Structure formats: structure tokens, C-alpha cells
Amino acid sequence: MFTTVLPKPAPNQVTAIPSDLFRAIADLKQELNAVILAHYYQDPDIQDIADYIGDSLGLSRQAATTNADVIVFAGVHFMAETAKILNPDKLVLLPDLNAGCSLADSCPPDAFAKFKAQHRDHLVISYVNCTAEIKAMSDIICTSSNAVRIVNQIPKDQPIIFAPDQNLGRYVMAQTNREMVLWQGSCMVHELFSEKKIVQLQVEHPEAEVIAHPECEPQVLRHASYIGSTSALLKYVHESDTKAFIVATEPGIIHQMQKQTPHKKFIPAPPMKSCACNECPHMRLNTLEKIYLAMKNRTPEIILPEETRKAALKPMQRMLEMSA
């Protein structure tokens, strides 16, 4: 239940944007007892107004423990859905409902149910980048931060389906030295990095180390001296003595890297085409204006059928226990 009674939204949807957007969002945060959770791939302005910025595991943990009545999720749909799974009685707002995820979309529930039926004795471990329906069909959820740790806790003779990201799955197989059946999904951003251009950059910047997210393809990962989730990459560049990095993940993370270590150099890994397609088009749908309007109008809200939510909660709780 809400601990405070939320003030009613304006009877008609507000569309006007105040001149001091930062002040207006701060006022609404107080009025609604709201918390703004943002992923590292958000625009710098959004990261700067967030109460908490994190990777998927950190954001899930925050969502699981927040005292706020309203969660404003500056991220993509599956992340806001995860917050709702953990907080059925809170109002969870996603500033733009179109902020989806190509990886989550690559695993439709009907096809996944058939796939599961072909591997009945398998335990299903699903990467958090999937829909609530897929979570509901899974035994354990993982993120890129804890996937290796979770798989290592499963008895060696237990066969596993890993879904939906084949690249993370392959990386986990190599790290844990065990076979898994992989769903063949992938992220449209992380599969676009150009190995050739990364190698060229290494030649031009011999002082730079390549660091990469495990959603990248093997031909990119093999050039990386460090592979990790967004928060692991951030920690690594902070603690490393190296002064320059070629960063193979969505470049939104570079804002925090630069803030944390302004004296270091961060070069975004280039995509194959000459485009800004290393920026996640879904993540980048959120704007400060949309965050303000979502809070002012208390919409768009994440709503989930209770049966799906309950079924999806179990593997989420298992993940939180196994990575405590």
C-alpha cells in the first residue's frame, strides 16, 4: 500500500514544460515521495538528476529496498517492469512506454515456451533483459554482474538453458567451464561494434586498454583486457593505473567514467557503420521533459497481471538471494 496518499494529477494531462525543469522535477519528487532510478545508458542530464544510477543488479536492489511511494524509472521497459515485480503496491512510471529492448524482444514468450518444452529437464536461467512473461517461465534471473556467480552455484550435473542473450551465455560458459543450451538472442547495440575499427584504434592509441560489456560478440570480447557489467567497468577504470580506455558498450556510461576520473581518456568503441548506432535507441527515448510529464500526470504507469508478476517474482527473489 502507498504510505502517503498521492496528490491527484491534474484533471487534464499537462503538456506544458516549465522553464526550470530541474526545479520542477525536484519539487515533484518531494510532492510524490518519488525516487528516480536511472541506468548508466541514460543521457547525462538524466543521470545528473537521478537519486540512484546503476547497472541492472544495482537498480533491482534499489527497487527492492526503496521507501519511496513512486518509482520513476529512467531506463527501458524490462527494468521498470522488474521494479513493478518487486513493488506491486508502488506506482512505477516509465517516461516513455516505447523504451523497449531488442534483446528482450528477441525472446517471444510463445517461442520460448516451445523451446523450454524441448528441454524439460533443464533449469532456466534468464538474463534480466527479458519480459515479465519470460521471467515467469524462468527458475532464476541473473544480470551481467552476477551471471557467472549464479551459474557456479548450480550443481554440475544440472543441465541449464540460458536466455535470451547468446553472447552473455557464451561468455558465462567460458568463465564457468560448462555447457549450456543458449537461446539465440542478442542486443542490437552490442552486436554492432566493429572489430576492425577497434583494432585500428588500438594501433592509434597504444596506451589504451579495450574494456567491454559481455553482451558484445566474441570477436570484440577477444580484444578486451577487462569484461564486465556497466558498474564493473566503471569500478575497473577507477581502480586501474591505465590512463586511456576504448569502451565497448553503450557510450552513456562514459559520462560517469569521465566524472569519476576526469584525468583519464575514454574512447567510445565505434560501430561498423558511420552512425550513432552504438547509442541504445530505446534508452535514449527518455528525456527530462518526459520525466517531468510522467511525474506531473502520473503516467505512463507499468501495470502487470498479478499472476505473471507473482510467477516472475520467484526467480527474481532467487537471484537476489544467490547474489546477496
Q: How many residues bind ligand 13P (CB under 6 A)?
A: 11
Angle 276-277-281 from CA coordinates, rounded to 5°: 105
Q: Which stretch binds ligand 13P (CB under 6 A): 17-25, 62-70, 82-90, 142-150?
A: 142-150
Q: Which is nearer to ligand SF4, 75 or 296 (CB)?
A: 75
**Smallest distance from the beta carbon of 74 to ligand 13P, in angstroms?**
13
CA proximity to 295, closest of 305, 286, 308: 286
Q: Counting Cβ atoms within 10 Å, is residue 109 exposed (0-12), middle (13-18) or buried (19+)?
A: middle
CB atoms within 10 A of CB 226: 16
Chain-centre distance for alpha carbon 143: 8
> What cell does 73 get?
524509472
Q: Which does 102 bind (CB under 5 to 8 A by kind): ligand 13P, ligand SF4, none?
A: ligand SF4
CA distances from 290 to 18, 97, 267 (A): 12, 11, 29
Do 253 and 234 form a contact (C-beta atoms < 8 A)? yes
Establish how many alpha carbons lie within 13 A of residue 221's alpha carbon, considering only the half-sphere containing its beta carbon.
19
**Smallest distance from the beta carbon of 37 to ligand SF4, in angstroms?**
14
By the rule CB under 6 A, 215 interacts with ligand 13P? yes
Q: Which does 176 bind (CB under 5 to 8 A by kind): ligand 13P, ligand SF4, none?
A: none
Q: Which is nearer to ligand 13P, 38 or 71 (CB)?
A: 38
Q: Which stretch binds ligand 13P (CB under 6 A): 140-148, 176-184, 192-200, 285-293?
A: 140-148
> What cell does 39 get?
541506468
CA distances from 159 to 182, 183, 238 (A): 11, 14, 38
CA proximity to 213, closest of 4, 39, 27, 49: 39
Q: Which is nearer to ligand 13P, 28 or 132 (CB)?
A: 132
**Smallest distance from the beta carbon of 93 to ligand 13P, in angstroms?**
19
Q: Which does 81 bind (CB under 5 to 8 A by kind): ligand SF4, ligand 13P, none?
A: none
Interface residue with ligand 13P, options 62, 82, 131, 144 (CB under 6 A): 144
Contacts with ligand 13P, 4-43, as mask; x by CB under 6 A: ----------------------------------------
**Smallest distance from the beta carbon of 131 to ligand SF4, in angstroms?**
12
Q: Which is nearer to ligand SF4, 78 or 245 (CB)?
A: 78
Do 161 and 146 form a contact (C-beta atoms < 8 A)? no
By the rule CB under 6 A, 229 interacts with ligand 13P? yes
Q: Which does 131 bind (CB under 5 to 8 A by kind): ligand SF4, ligand 13P, none?
A: none
Chain-centre distance for alpha carbon 164: 14
Q: Which residue shows C-alpha cell 502507498? A: 2
Contacts with ligand 13P, 178-207, as mask; x by CB under 6 A: ---------x--------------------
Do 213 and 228 form a contact (C-beta atoms < 8 A)? yes
Q: Which is nearer to ligand SF4, 17 or 277 (CB)?
A: 277
Could you report how far apart the first and last alpha carbons of the chain are, in Å? 26
At residue 125, the 3 state secondary structure works out as: strand
Q: Under the rule (CB under 6 A), what is the footprint of ligand SF4?
A: 76, 101-103, 129, 187-190, 250, 280, 282-283
Residues engaged in binding ligand 13P (CB under 6 A): 55-56, 129, 143-145, 187, 213, 215, 229-230
